């Protein structure tokens, strides 16, 4: 029976790709006006079903919370739409009159969309919209723990797109989920690109598939708080970012790094906004339930609230706690909570000054978040510049909740649920993914003229030889002497042969 199920899942993936390819061949001929009408209707459907999809996601996965999942779905619908609605993705998208170049957008084809369990519906809305905006079809592979809500989100997007004039099959979603089906989807000859959001192993598999892939890495985001910061606002934003949807966004804060001179005041402010600081014994208990012994976060606590984690660890916390904070002395295996935790737990470090803080942040990033993001709370622009120049990350988020700032909800970054981490993390891009990452650009280049050539003097070989001789002070060769030496050598050789 298991073999039959695997075969069914493989065939389903193939059928969905076949339908998507047929649909994309029609969609590629749509005008900009037709495409824009389709994504407008998809936006409307996403907004109308945001609450329903949020409830389904929380119910099925047990991760996050209803209110924040609603926000994510609205964000993926309305905010993403507003950021891409005027974007040119059809025909000539740019003319450079000075260099006489036209740039023409072409869709890449069928996209494989890998969906995580942490953001199972908002990711579908977002990826479907940017795919169709760039005239691509997309087939989704859900996480096994989020199949129903992911499939429902894809169905809603598909129905809205078709009602607006898109061809049938332009958005598909695998129902019989298996690793075989996901692999088949990623490696299918008709799939042109992979848009991967998920765990490190899955993203690595996407990059190893032989297809162009856009993926992300883990985000072990440090939040550095410097002495010039507004401490009350910093505390508010850190707790807000970490507790948003119970820490399921990869850009959410994972550790606080505070200068010693303001650490006590910051702790007071953090407690004011709902942070509960653990004592050394509680840190050990929480470490044992949050992190696995062989590394990585325990799936049971991903997206869970502090109360759930406290009960699992056997500790007592105040009723209104929004996140747990663990004071730590170092980074690495001896301090398990120094790694990425997609839940409501933060590490906390004290540092002597910003120089030490800078090094601590790099340690945290190298432990599992390199290339992703870093938050800094400071009003010292020179210091912010130092951090920006030295940190191996692609998003420096200043005085904002990292979770929302990274995806572009509270910053000017492109609204996105796929955050590139650059070559530091083995990613092919270093920015937030938009429809412009899902197109090929043809260029028409006009003749600008023949470059002017400077006249080159033709040198006479004899002149060159005479010039060389003039520079070489050595005496001329005695040709008669050379001939005499040759005769003597030949005479000697002949005598040997005889």
Residue 476 predicted with pLDDT over 70: no
The count of structural domains within the chain is 2
| pLDDT tens-place string over residues 158-214 | 999 999 999 999 999 999 999 999 999 999 999 999 999 877 777 788 888 889 999
Residue 348 predicted with pLDDT over 50: yes
Residue 385 predicted with pLDDT over 50: yes
56 with 174, same domain? Answer: yes
Give the whole-angstrom CA distance, residue 414 versus residue 432: 6
354 with 244, same domain? Answer: yes
Q: At 376, which CATH number?
A: 3.40.309.10
Mean residue pLDDT across the chain? 92
388 with 271, same domain? Answer: yes
Reported pTM = 0.89
| Range of the structural domain that residue 242 is part of | 221-413
The encoded tokens of residue 381 equal: 């622009």
241 with 267, same domain? Answer: yes
208 with 317, same domain? Answer: no
Q: At 198, which CATH number?
A: 3.40.605.10
Active site residues: 250
236 with 124, same domain? Answer: no
In this structure, of 29-33, 139-143, 209-213, 394-398, the range with the lowest mean pLDDT score is: 209-213
Residue 459 burial (10 A CB sphere; 0-12, 13-18, 19+)? exposed
Give the whole-angstrom CA distance, residue 119 versus residue 111: 19
**Is residue 449, in this structure, part of any structural domain at all?**
no
Closest CA to 287 of 335, 356, 357, 349: 335
SS3 369: coil
Confidence of residue 463 (pLDDT cuts 50, 70, 90): low
SS3 346: strand
**Is residue 465, in this structure, part of any structural domain at all?**
no
User: Locate tokens 């169709």: which residue?
Assistant: 132
189 with 278, same domain? Answer: no
Give the whole-angstrom CA distance, residue 58 versus residue 149: 9
| pLDDT tens-place string over residues 416-450 | 999 999 888 888 889 999 999 999 999 999 999 99
Average pLDDT over residues 452-462: 70
342 with 250: CB under 8 angstroms?
Answer: yes
């Amino acid at each position: 029976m298991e073999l039959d199920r695997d075969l069914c899942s493989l065939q389903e993936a193939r059928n969905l790709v076949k339908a998507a390819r047929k649909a994309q061949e029609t969609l590629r001929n749509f005008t900009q006006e037709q495409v824009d009408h389709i994504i407008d209707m998809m936006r409307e459907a996403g907004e109308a079903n945001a609450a329903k999809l949020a409830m389904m996601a929380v119910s099925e996965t047990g991760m996050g919370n209803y209110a924040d999942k609603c926000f994510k779905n609205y964000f993926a619908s309305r905010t993403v739409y507003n950021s891409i609605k005027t974007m040119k993705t059809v025909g000539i998208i740019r003319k450079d009159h000075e260099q006489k170049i036209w740039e023409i957008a072409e869709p890449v084809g069928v996209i494989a969309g890998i969906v995580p369990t942490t953001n199972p519906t908002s990711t579908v809305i977002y990826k479907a919209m940017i795919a169709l905006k760039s005239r691509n079809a997309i087939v989704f592979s859900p996480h096994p723990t989020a199949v129903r809500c992911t499939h429902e989100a894809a169905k809603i997007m598909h129905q809205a797109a078709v009602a607006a004039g898109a061809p049938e099959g332009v958005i598909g979603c695998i129902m019989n989920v298996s690793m075989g089906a996901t692999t088949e989807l990623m490696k299918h000859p008709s799939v042109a690109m992979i848009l991967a959001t998920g765990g490190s192993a899955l993203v690595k598999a996407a990059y190893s598939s032989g297809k162009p892939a856009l993926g992300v890495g883990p985000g072990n985001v440090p939040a550095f708080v410097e002495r010039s910061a507004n401490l009350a606002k910093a505390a508010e934003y850190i707790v807000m970012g970490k507790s948003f949807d119970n820490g399921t966004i990869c850009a959410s804060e994972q550790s606080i790094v505070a200068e010693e001179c303001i650490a006590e005041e910051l702790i007071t402010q953090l407690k004011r906004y709902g942070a509960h600081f653990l004592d050394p014994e509680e840190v050990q208990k929480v470490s044992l339930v949050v992190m696995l012994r062989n590394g990585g976060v325990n799936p049971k606590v991903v997206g869970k609230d502090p109360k759930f984690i406290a009960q699992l660890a056997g500790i007592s916390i105040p009723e209104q706690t929004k996140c747990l904070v663990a004071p730590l002395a170092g980074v690495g295996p001896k301090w398990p909570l120094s790694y990425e935790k997609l839940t409501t737990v933060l590490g906390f470090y004290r540092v002597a000054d910003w120089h030490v803080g800078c090094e601590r942040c790099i340690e945290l990033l190298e432990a599992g978040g390199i290339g992703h993001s870093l938050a800094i709370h400071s009003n010292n622009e020179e210091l912010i510049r130092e951090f920006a120049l030295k940190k191996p990350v692609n998003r420096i988020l200043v005085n904002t909740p990292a979770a929302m700032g990274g995806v572009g909800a509270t910053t000017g970054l492109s609204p996105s649920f796929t955050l590139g981490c650059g070559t530091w993390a083995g990613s092919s891009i270093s920015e937030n993914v938009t429809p412009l990452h899902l197109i090929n650009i043809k260029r028409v280049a006009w003749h600008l003229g023949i470059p002017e050539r400077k006249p080159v003097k033709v040198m006479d070989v004899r002149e060159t030889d005479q010039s060389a001789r003039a520079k070489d002070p050595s005496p001329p060769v005695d040709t008669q002497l050379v001939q005499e030496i040759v005769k003597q050598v030949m005479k000697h050789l002949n005598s040997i042969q005889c």
